[in-house]
Structure 1
Amino acid sequence: MTTTDATTRSRDYALNAGVVTELAAMRPRVLVIGDLILDGWWDGAAERMSREAPAPVVEISRRRFAAGGAANTAVNLAALGADVRIVGVIGDDEAGRELRSILSSSGVDTRGLVETAAGRTVAKNRVVSGEQVLVRLDDVNGDPYPEEALEAAAEAAEASSGWAELEVICDYGCGLFVPALTARLARRVRRPRPCIVDAHDLRRTRILRPDVVTPNAGEFEQLCGRLDPGRRAEEVPARREALLEASGARSAVVTLDREGSVTLSPEGGVHRTFAHPATERQASGAGDTFTAGLALALSGGLPLADAADLAQLAADIVVRRPGTSVCSAHDLRAELAPADDAAVDHDTLEARVAEHRAEGRRIVFTNGCFDVLHRGHTASLRQAKRLGDVLVVAINDDDSVRRLKGPDRPVNTATDRAAVLAALECVDYVAVFSSDTPIPLLERLQPEVYAKGGDYTPEMLRETAVVRGYGGLVSMLDYVEAHSTSGIVEQIREHRPTTVPGGVG
């Protein structure tokens, strides 16, 4: 495994969409051994309190399930393009069957799953109302796994050892990695096959002599002492030797949640990544995604620091999504090299809006030409986003702008306007429409809220009757003293400062 730090890696290297495509095309063979968890998300309305206790009553309307723990690492690896096999223990129960189905449908080879009637599948079920997790219900094993189940898991790991190009060990303290199993894994003949360990207690897996460990801040502090909350990234490198000695590893990537990560290479180099935090309160499993991204990159021969960059990007993508999510190679490519046309076609938009609505998310819709984006636009768009959860911005195509504004408009094409709007953090989707009004798209999407700039009134808008007709809300945004596009264009032509007021439109 090649590792390096940011100061010595190749100057002509850059993480880009082409690199992601090449990694996925390699189809690296990755073996995941670890604790398997079924993540559940139970959604419902909480509109009253129980008479039996001071607790909300949640009327469950939907149950969602996802792979968790080592299983989540495996499905992320498969989505990123790896050829994945998984080894672990599940119970002979409904949760185990659900987890096996999720893994198989995600393209993960499940021949290494060991099923036992003497233990239950570990499951973590979150009860959610609105955007708030109210309680988590964990099904865990009170007794150790039977010896025959652990023996079968060890045999499955050994059978795939010669096949794998990289190995990921995921020890979340759920009972798989007893001393006898780790000792047996350590006795296998080690090919030049990188081993990554993601473990709650890295002392348990020290015997494996991993190439890379990926402790989070809490796991790091467990081995190396408490970090100053304001200087965690600066203090980690000073404790490099203590971490590597305690974990038995050659190198490490320490993840610091909202502060990114710190890579400690074998040669002593240090590399820092920076996270892009999100406000999503339901997100879970970003650490599994980080490990999967790191594994994919290392299996493709990327230096450790560059692998950490890719892993950070993958984690950033999933923390923006609710629940336990998966990052795919397509997601990475889209993040690294957005399409020239950032607008979403109407069929895709309708499907995504339906998915968000099924998750209980409130859709906000606004529209305009947005020819030259200015402060009035951005202020109104931020205000519109606060009216719900998902903001859809529909823009007139070039022909309809010409019909509305005159032959010398638009200044910017629909492709350029869509790309600029899509880059705004408050905007979730951009769509282009060809009619003079967005009424056909409104009728199709039926957003809960239709927002329009404060220089209009509901009575001025043909859209008002349509929105109110299906039960939606028309919301007029505050008038923003800023700049109108027409005024800006005129003043540019006359070489005057732009001070004409305006808003969304």
Structure 2
Amino acid sequence: MEISAGIPPDEATRGGEGLTPELAGRLFRAGSKVVVLGDAILDVWLSGQCDRLCREAPAAPVVDVRQQAFAPGGAGNTAVNLAALGADVHMVTAVGDDLAGAMVLEELRGRNVRTDHVVVSENRATVSKRRVVAADQVLLRFDDGDRHDGDDGETARLLDALRVALDAADALVVCDYGNGVLGPRVRRALADLRPGLPLLVLDAHDVRRWRSVSPDVVTPNAAEAGAVLQVRLPQDSDARVEFLDRHREQLAEAAGADSVVVTLDRDGAVLLTGDQPVHRTWARPAPDNHTSGAGDTFTAALTVGLAGGLPVTTSVELAQAAADIVVHRPGTAVCTAAELEQRFGTFHDAAVGPEQLARIVAEHRSAGRRVVFTNGCFDVLHRGHVAYLNEAKRLGDVLIVAVNADESVHRLKGPDRPVNNVRDRASVLAALSCVDHVTVFDQDTPVELLRELRPDVYVKGGDYTPEMLSEAPVVRAYGGQVRALGYVPDHSTSAMIERIRSTVATGGTT
């Protein structure tokens, strides 16, 4: 794994490809400059009480509005989420010279988004989306505003503003939701500018329109990915992941992108990048009426991670954690850096004791869930670990990871290991969305845990075969399955630790 510039080697040693509160905090405080180009919308939430129907139209409810809330929507919501995660955000868009446009700008400025590069146009009516809410349910949404491409004058001003805003930028996020502003002339101009552009993240309803711009990452949702492939994706989550994996080249080619991250709402997200193994995240489901803007939050956190030098798999995990926070709130919500740091901090005491874990497994089993179990030292989490844990989770419904205690690692790996204590190792593992429960064991093998928990599937990663595993007879004796997954060589961890130690000693970064 590469250690990114800007993340100290000692912090990279602790986290590897996992996230710790310290690493997340440094990432958010780095203040990466991010330019957001796209459709800024005014979101309006009209909330009240509904206890009668309209006499003029008996099927229509009457809502007594008690509260109004305003928020930047569309690309504006992506911008405010970026700012809330510590980025230095510059908004580039066009709004009308009207009340809605003025309110969008006011809301953006109030949330630490720079609006120096926003074009105010007399030939445009700002798009607004008004939702009427009662008893936490959206009863009606009505939209207004212009969705046409800008005229020559507006487009020229927009592109001039973009060129100025991009000076010394770490990332450009393009948000194309079909609400005007981003027409063919803007796409052609960006294609011409592409060699000099920074990290380019695209969130668009139709990624094919931006193929000539060659984005680094695109973030379509399931329906948008299906439109690209001209099929309706399977409804079963595992089948969807497999289908997307099989069609990764077609998706990447259509978008002209290096990496494709398909968001699957309550089923998490799927990362497809080059020939790397598919990486899936698992979400904490929420009601559909609490999901407004969650995709914008996901894109914002993904961008902050990538701009800060995190590996793409870690950045996707960061994005999923941010989306999980906002989907449990009503309205157009924003995830802050402090909330994410706190979330990762909660994993510090993540390890579950054997007795409690046995009760948890019994509950899963009574609910008909398939339990998968694996174990290891996981001294510094690297991409091989992450890939095999991700694959292990896909073998069932619940993934339990048993971590060797410090004394056990010392016996197995030598006097200078572990580098990270068991509390840190467990917390980094627990922060992965594919891991459901973490426990610690003192023995050199987890045989006693396996006898107690009786998981449906026992998984090991590395150059093992089932016949080489001393645990295999125990698992087979109670009717469980034994699986050996992808090669996770120990020397990759050892080599990484030696490189980090060398880097620390010389005071450099790699």
Residue matched to 2:53: 49
Task: Give the secondary structure class of the aligned counterpart of 2:310.
Answer: coil
Superposed counterparts of 1:345-360, under 5 Å: none
- Find the aligned partners of 2:226 and 2:291 in 1 and give their Cα distance: 24
Q: 2:258 aligns with which of 250, 263, 288?
A: 250
Residue matched to 1:400: none
Deviation at 1:122? Answer: 0.9
Residue matched to 1:23: 27
| 1:228 is aligned to 2:234 | yes
Q: Is contact 2:92-2:161 (8 Å) kept?
A: yes
Instruction: Report the TM-score when normalising by structure 1.
Output: 0.64
- Find the aligned partners of 1:35 and 1:256 in 2 and give their Cα distance: 23
- Find the aligned partners of 1:157 and 1:142 in 2 and give their Cα distance: 20
Q: Is contact 1:158-1:185 (8 Å) kept?
A: no
Residue matched to 1:185: 190
Q: Is contact 1:197-1:213 (8 Å) kept?
A: yes
Deviation at 1:155? Answer: 1.0
Task: Give the secondary structure class of the aligned counterpart of 1:158.
Answer: helix
Deviation at 1:205? Answer: 1.2
Q: Deviations over 1:208-229 (max 9, x none)?
A: 1000000100110000122111
Superposed counterparts of 1:205-224, under 5 Å: 205-224=210-229
Residue matched to 2:112: 107
Q: 2:126 aligns with which of 98, 121, 124?
A: 121
Q: Is contact 1:283-1:318 (8 Å) kept?
A: yes
Give RMSD over aligned pairs.
2.5
Deviation at 1:145? Answer: 2.7
Residue matched to 2:96: 91
Deviation at 1:61? Answer: 1.5
More helix by share: 2
Deviation at 1:142? Answer: 5.5
Deviation at 1:143? Answer: 4.4
- Find the aligned partners of 2:118 and 2:252 in 1 and give their Cα distance: 31
Task: Give the secondary structure class of the aligned counterpart of 1:134.
Answer: strand
Deviation at 1:3? Answer: 12
Q: Is contact 1:104-1:110 (8 Å) kept?
A: yes
Q: Deviations over 1:158-199 (max 9, x none)?
A: 112232111100000011221111101211153362100000
Q: Deviations over 1:264-303 (max 9, x none)?
A: 1134332111101123624410000000000000000011
- Find the aligned partners of 1:37 and 1:134 in 2 and give their Cα distance: 20
Q: 2:41 aligns with which of 24, 37, 41?
A: 37
**Relative to structure 1, is the Cα distance of residues 292 and 142 closer, same or farther in structure 2, using a 3 angstrom cutoff?**
closer
Residue matched to 2:84: 79
Deviation at 1:97? Answer: 1.0
**Relative to structure 1, is the Cα distance of residues 271 and 282 closer, same or farther in structure 2, using a 3 angstrom cutoff?**
closer
Instruction: Report the TM-score when normalising by structure 2.
Output: 0.63
Task: Give the secondary structure class of the aligned counterpart of 1:150.
Answer: helix
Q: Is contact 1:158-1:188 (8 Å) kept?
A: no
Name the aligned partner's letter for residue 249 of structure 1. Answer: A
Identity across matched positions, percent: 44
**Relative to structure 1, is the Cα distance of residues 3 and 203 closer, same or farther in structure 2, using a 3 angstrom cutoff?**
farther
- Find the aligned partners of 2:98 and 2:16 in 1 and give their Cα distance: 52
Q: Is contact 2:21-2:344 (8 Å) kept?
A: yes
- Find the aligned partners of 2:257 and 2:3 in 1 and give their Cα distance: 13
Q: 2:307 aligns with which of 299, 316, 336?
A: 299
Task: Give the secondary structure class of the aligned counterpart of 2:42.
Answer: strand
| 1:330 is aligned to 2:334 | no
Name the aligned partner's letter for residue 273 of structure 1. Answer: T
Rg larger for: 1
Q: Deviations over 1:421-449 (max 9, x none)?
A: xxxxxxxxxxxxxxxxxxxxxxxxxxxxx
- Bigger RCO (CA 8 Å, 6+ sep): 2
| 1:65 is aligned to 2:73 | no
Task: Give the secondary structure class of the aligned counterpart of 2:208.
Answer: coil
| 1:271 is aligned to 2:279 | yes
Name the aligned partner's letter for residue 40 of structure 1. Answer: V
- Find the aligned partners of 2:188 and 2:181 in 1 and give their Cα distance: 12
**Relative to structure 1, is the Cα distance of residues 13 and 97 closer, same or farther in structure 2, using a 3 angstrom cutoff?**
same
Deviation at 1:17? Answer: 1.0
Task: Give the secondary structure class of the aligned counterpart of 1:60.
Answer: strand
